[in-house]
Chain A
């Protein structure tokens, strides 16, 4: 689902990861599809992120 995407933790309150930002490759105009995924296992995007991390096909970068 997140082939060729980057993943990065996001923090609204400094020091607390609350979501994962998934960024798809940009198109020829520099525009990308981006997902802000809450860290809630009922969210199927987050469930897929956890699955891909476990399988080693996705790495989540630390928040800025």
Chain B
């Protein structure tokens, strides 16, 4: 984009109520943060967040894929999210789907003034490439009011920037809360339940499944298929502007931690989790403070074993001895703190100071408060 065009777009968006700094409502749009890991294989059996933070995948298909935080990226970016089909699904049943989404809190999207006479348009932009040409569907979905709008875009073998402008919606306000309000979704595979109508592309409307993903290719049509995505931006205004890079990796990471926080930096033996004490001879207790505050009371997602011996997942170090722990739980979990305690295992002296650490290599120990 030329400087003149960029300036014109920014001015246009400022006039429309957007623009300026912090205009990108997408978190981790440059795919720089991957707290869960940089690669996950065999995906497709269950929904979830697997590699790049804040990007969820939803499946109902026999197709399978690998998700990677990849180093292929367009100029000005270092990372992308790569999806690679590993099991094809060429017999597409009516209810099948596979899509990638970022779900956004209601309190973050109030500037769109959706549902009012002052409603503002939505500008979406991102960079994509694939193994071959394909057409996919980008959708904005208002989950507070079950309204949506979709537009198709094309992918080629070279990195290309996609710019999509969606109109304002004077119907259905976003709730001002910490719940899910707006989804930016990329449909990569859909059965006739989502494709048999007419793509709803010109104005927001009450969601009709048949009109949501019309005209898209299937990512699962071949094991050669790949899809790369980075530089995702959603902003108020009618004109997509250049991607707004976050000043520092730490700032981007902090935004991601509102939804997912690793509670130890090492999942290998001796990775330290928490200080605490033995509340009785068998129960370790420690307090964890979430920094930054999480979106809502989080779940504890962690690796457990059933061994209760030196092959246990965790150990509690007390008085020079290690006691083994297999499972842990949160009590009184809230946005700021939680009590972490062992639900099985250890035998120690009541009142002793203790620290909890990883014994056998685990795959996860994290607080989760995703949308």
B300 interface residue, CB < 8 Å from A?
A: yes
Partner of A33, one of B179, B303, B371: B303
Interface centre among A12, A18, A23, A30 (most CB of B within 10 A): A12
Partner of B299, one of A12, A26, A31, A36: A36
Interface segment out of the listed B41-49, B205-213, B269-277: B41-49
B302 interface residue, CB < 8 Å from A?
A: yes
**In the complex, chain B residues 317-341 whose Cβ is within 8 Å of any chain A Cβ:** 327-333, 339, 341
Partner of A30, one of B298, B307, B328, B339: B307
A14 interface residue, CB < 8 Å from B?
A: no
Interface string of B282-321 (1 = CB under 8 A from A): 0000000000000111111111111100000100000000
Interface segment out of the listed B6-14, B221-229, B362-370: B362-370
B202 interface residue, CB < 8 Å from A?
A: no
Partner of B302, one of A30, A34, A38: A34
B133 interface residue, CB < 8 Å from A?
A: no
Partner of A34, one of B178, B298, B303: B303
A52 interface residue, CB < 8 Å from B?
A: no
Once the chains bind, are B178 and A43 in contact (CB under 8 Å)?
A: no
Partner of B297, one of A23, A32, A35, A43: A43
**In the complex, chain A residues 13-57 whose Cβ is within 8 Å of any chain B Cβ:** 18-19, 21, 23, 26, 30-38, 40, 42-46
Answer whether A42 and B341 are a contact pair too, CB < 8 Å, given A1-B46, A19-B329: no
* Contact residues in B for A44 (Cβ distance below 8 Å): 180, 296, 369-371
Determine the main DSSP class of B at the interface with A: loop
Answer whether A10 and B306 are a contact pair too, CB < 8 Å, given A40-B296, A43-B298: no
Classify chain A: how many residues form its interface, as a range.
Answer: 20 to 34
Rounded to whole angstroms, the CA-CA distance of A42 and B306 in the bound complex is: 31
Determine the main DSSP class of A at the interface with B: mixed
Interface centre among A19, A21, A34, A40 (most CB of B within 10 A): A34
Once the chains bind, are B306 and A19 in contact (CB under 8 Å)?
A: no
Partner of B332, one of A18, A26, A42, A45: A18
Q: How many residues of B contact A (CB 8 A)?
A: 39
Answer whether A12 and B341 are a contact pair too, CB < 8 Å, given A1-B48, A31-B304, A45-B299: yes
Once the chains bind, are A35 and B301 in contact (CB under 8 Å)?
A: yes
Answer whether A43 and B369 are a contact pair too, CB < 8 Å, given A26-B306, A33-B364: yes
Once the chains bind, are A32 and B332 in contact (CB under 8 Å)?
A: no
* Contact residues in B for A46 (Cβ distance below 8 Å): 299
B343 interface residue, CB < 8 Å from A?
A: yes
30 A-B pairs within 8 Å (CB atoms) are namely A3-B45, A10-B329, A12-B329, A12-B339, A18-B331, A18-B332, A31-B304, A31-B305, A31-B363, A32-B303, A33-B304, A33-B363, A33-B364, A34-B303, A34-B304, A36-B299, A36-B300, A36-B302, A36-B328, A36-B330, A38-B297, A38-B299, A40-B296, A40-B333, A42-B296, A43-B296, A43-B298, A44-B296, A44-B371, A46-B299
**Residues of A with Cβ closer than 8 Å to B?**
1, 3, 10, 12, 18-19, 21, 23, 26, 30-38, 40, 42-46
Other 6 A-B pairs with CB < 8 A, given A32-B304, A40-B297 = A3-B45, A19-B329, A19-B333, A32-B303, A33-B301, A35-B299
- Closest 4 interchain pairs by CB? A42-B296, A12-B331, A36-B300, A36-B329
